[in-house]
Amino acid sequence: MPSAQQLREYCPKMLRFLDCNIDTIESCVGKTINDLAASGNQSVAEEVAAILGVGSLVRDLCNPHTTLHKDYVANIDCFRGFVIPGSRLCSLEAKETMEDFYTKANIEKGGLDDALNAEIRCLELGYEITCVSISLGESCGESARGAFVNVVRRLKGVLEGQCGGGVSDLKTKFYNYMEVGDEEMIKMKETFELFRRR
C-alpha cells in the first residue's frame, strides 16, 4: 500500500498509463470509451465498466482534494497493519460461516447446478469482503471502512464477474441465517448489495 509520498510519486505515471490505455482502446475500436460503455454487447460494456471503475478509483485516490484520498492517507498506517492479518482472519471466518450455513440450509455445494455454484461463489466473495469491511471499521474506524467500501464499489465491475442476476433467494436465506445486530446487518447489506447478481 503506497504512502502519501509514494502516491505523489506514482500518481502522474498511473494517470498517464490510464489515459494511454483509453486512447489506445478508442483508436483501435474507433469509438469513444463512453460509447463502448453503453454498448449493447454486454461483455464489452462490462469490460469497459471495469476499466472506467479502476480509472475513477485511481483518479480519486490521486486527487488530494477527494474524500477517498484524505481517508486513505489518514488511515494508511492502520490499513497496512490490518490488511494481511485481517484478510486471513476474514477468509477463515467466511469459510467456517459459509460451511455452517450450507449445512443448516441443506445446500449442496459443488454439485452439478452451475447457476447455484455461481450464486455460491458470489455469496462467498460478498461475505468475505463484508467481513473485511466490518473488521476494518472496528480496527481502524468508520472513515477507513468507508474508504474500503468506496474502493470495492469502484471495483465492482472487476469483482462481480462471479455474480449474475437480482437479489437471490440464497442471499436472503443467508441474511436470515446470520444472527447479528441491526447496525451490523445494515453494514453487511451495504457491502453485499455491491454483489447484486445481474
59 pLDDT tier (thresholds 50, 70, 90): very high
Cell (9 digits) for 135: 473488521
Specify the amino acid at residue 174: F
pLDDT at 120 over 90: no
How far is residue 42's CA from residue 136's CA, in Å, rounded to a whole number?
34
| Range in 27-31, 42-46, 109-113 the model is least confident about | 109-113
198 pLDDT tier (thresholds 50, 70, 90): very low
What rounded mean pLDDT belongs to the chain? 85
pLDDT at 155 over 90: no
Note the pTM of the prediction, 2 decimals: 0.77
Per-residue DSSP letter, 161? G
How far is residue 172's CA from residue 174's CA, in Å, rounded to a whole number?
5
For residues 75-108, one letter each, b for 16 or more C-beta atoms within 10 angstroms of the residue's C-beta and e for the rest, the string is: bbeebeebeeebbeebeeebeebbeebbeeeebe
Rounded average pLDDT over 174-187: 84
Cell (9 digits) for 124: 462467498
